[in-house]
Amino acid sequence: MDMVLSDLLAAVSARAAAARPVEVCIGVHWTLVTVELEGRVLGGLASTLSAGSHEHAGGPDVRDAGRLLSRSVTDLAALVGSDRVLEVGVGMATINALLEVDEGACEEVNAADLIAERGAGRTVAVVGHFPFVPDLRTVAGTLHVLELNPRDGDLPARAAPDVLPRCDVVAITGTSLLNGTFGSLMALCRPDAYVLLLGATTPLSPILFRAGVAALSGTQVADPDVVRAAVLQGATFRQIPGKRLLTMLRP
């Protein structure tokens, strides 16, 4: 397991032991996990990554599907180390639900605005195709968009070793923590590059600062019931109400 994921697990271990699972929702785009802790229901989101076929040689994509609530919150969080991407999403969503976010260290700043501010006239890379890409092209000196499934104007993800070392600002999708690419992407960034981790999967934890990230743009579940209804009905991120967008900056 990636060291960052191990550190995140350790950071939430005490809260996980004291919590009980409430619900696990694996929607087409987003996974939501809710837990009860000290009388409060807390929720966390993570991307739902495509698992491909419904079943493979090693069995189903979620081995305890239908019985996840019989497992402890500690066990659910530990799924972040699974070899199956749907289970990894459950683990990360659980961690995000458990994290004690220091809201005093956060600002309600849109990640797109921060990237545009830092990347104006500079060489920028965005790992993952986000809706703000067209606007960013108008302000960045040079913009590279790296995607596993490239659209027009994007570069394939395999171009990262050539592109990232040349960039002043790098924005990396939080799903890199789910698909195991976070560490290799960070290793390609220059020490002086301004690196942001963004998207609802992103853990709002200073643990990521130790890995070299300068800003974390994530999501806090403010109303778990409202978020749950949207997730189960196939909502995209923009369609999910009941959430707060928070950005934590490295001191």
Q: Which residues pair with 246 in a beta bridge?
A: 218
- Spell out the residues 6+ positions from residue 4 whose beta carbon is closer than 8 angstroms to its own: 177, 182, 183, 207, 208, 211
- CATH fold of 3-101: Enolase-like; domain 1 (3.30.390)
How is the chain split into domains, by residue range?
3-101, 104-220+243-249
Start-to-end CA span in the chain (Å): 27
Alpha carbons within 13 angstroms on the beta-carbon side of residue 133 total: 21
Tens-digit pLDDT string for the chain (251 aa): 789 999 999 999 999 999 999 999 999 999 999 999 999 999 999 999 976 544 555 688 999 999 999 999 999 999 999 999 999 999 999 999 999 999 999 988 889 999 999 999 999 999 988 999 999 999 999 999 999 888 888 999 999 999 999 999 999 999 999 999 999 999 999 999 999 999 999 999 999 999 999 999 999 999 999 999 999 999 999 999 999 999 999 98
> Taking the domain 104-220+243-249, which CATH number applies?
3.40.50.11590
- pTM, two decimal places: 0.95
pLDDT at 57: 53
* Alpha helices for the chain (secondary structure H): 3-18, 73-78, 85-98, 111-119, 133-137, 160-163, 176-179, 182-188, 224-232
Specify whether the CB–CB gap between 121 and 141 falls below 8 A: yes
CA distance 128 to 226: 27
CA distance 217 to 138: 22
